[in-house]
Amino acid sequence: MTTKLRPAAAILASALFAVPLYYVLVNVFKPGDQIAQEPASVPLPPTLTNIHAVLTRPDGLFWVSLANSLLVTLLSIIVLTVLSAMLGHYLARSGKRWTKVLALILLAGLMIPPQVILIPVTEVLRLTGLMATIQGLVLFNVGYYVPFGVFVFTGFIRGVPVELEEAALLDGASRTQVFWRIVFPLLRPATASVLIFLGVWIWNDFIDPLIILGPSQGTTITTGIYRSIGQYQADLGSVFALMFLATLPVLIFYLALQKQFVKGLTGGATKG
């Protein structure tokens, strides 16, 4: 392609693709009546009315959802990182044959649709008294996403020389110390991948919080948006503002860690 045609074609394709993003972005900053009349126009002058309305809702929907989403996401990714790094270490370092079976059982977990297990999961949670609780949702997230974490970590741990661990053991460190002080710091790229991917997936998750937290017990950002579209039908400005505010943390996270995001993806892609 000629040198002038390529950038033009690239910009045109991207602009076409970005129309829905543009549509949300401009309407966040427009008063409601203007959204209905001229949905595509640039917001001049921009207004913060919609964002203000969402932030000061009397029922505090946005703040409650934000707190729940933060709590669920942070707890889940911390526990997931710790447990999958350790389980990954076991799979990478134990020479036993049955670890291959275990690895296969975990691999299967990567393709299980949540819908297949959700009904019995609600019963397991009800039985343990954890249904409709944040802890219940976190435990489910941990179980459901642990295979992904394990596979990222196992590959990386295989790349860490065993001699390093053996030397530290000879020097009198305990096995837990060896792992947390010597091996784990070397796994930073894997940890970044796991935190980023699982963070985004769990933050954006819809079906699991919808069903596990239930209708009354608590709302995350995504289920909050879902439940409020009904009442907000007439007030598009608030819908857009809520979606914008809900996405902002992930967007900032992504823009700050863009390189890591893409590296995480491509690491998986080239290795298959």
Partner 1 sequence: MGRKPILPRVWHFASFGAPGVVIYLCFVMAPILISFGYSLTNHNPFNPPAEFVGLENYRSLFQDEQFLTALRVTTILTVIVVVVPNVLGLGVALLLDRKGWLYNVLRSVFFTPVILSSVVVSIIWTKLLDDRGPVNDALRALGVEHPPGWLSDPDLALYSVASIVCWQMLGFCVVVYLAGLQGVPAELLEAAEIDGAGPVRRFRAVTWPLLAPSLTINTVVLLISAFKTYDYVKVVTNGGPGSGTTATIAFDVLATGLDANHVGYASAMAVVMLVIVAALTTIVLRFLRRREVDL
Residues 179-238 that bind partner 1 (CB under 8 A): 179, 200, 203-207, 211, 221-222, 225-226, 229, 236
How many residues of this chain bind partner 1 (CB under 8 A)? 91
Which of 75, 91, 152, 213 binds partner 1 (CB under 8 A)? It is 91
- Cβ neighbours of residue 39 closer than 8 Å, sequence gap 6 or more: 23, 27
Cα–Cα distance measured from residue 239 to residue 232, given in angstroms and rounded to the nearest whole number: 7
Name residue 178's amino acid: V
Q: What DSSP designation does 183 have? A: I
Cα–Cα distance measured from residue 262 to residue 255, given in angstroms and rounded to the nearest whole number: 11
Nearer to partner 1, 67 or 102 (CB): 102
Q: What is the nearest approach in angstroms of partner 1 to the Cβ of residue 94?
A: 5
Residues in the chain: 272
Pattern of binders to partner 1 over 5-34, x per CB under 8 A? -xx-xxx-xx--xx-xx-xx----------
**Residues 97-116 close enough to bind partner 1 by CB under 8 A:** 102, 105-106, 108-109, 111-116
Which of 28, 54, 132, 139 binds partner 1 (CB under 8 A)? It is 139
Is residue 45 reached through a cis peptide bond, with omega within 30 degrees of 0 on the bond before it? yes
Q: What is the nearest approach in angstroms of partner 1 to the Cβ of residue 132?
A: 14
Does 90 participate in binding partner 1 (rule CB under 8 A)? yes
Cα–Cα distance measured from residue 149 to residue 194, given in angstroms and rounded to the nearest whole number: 6
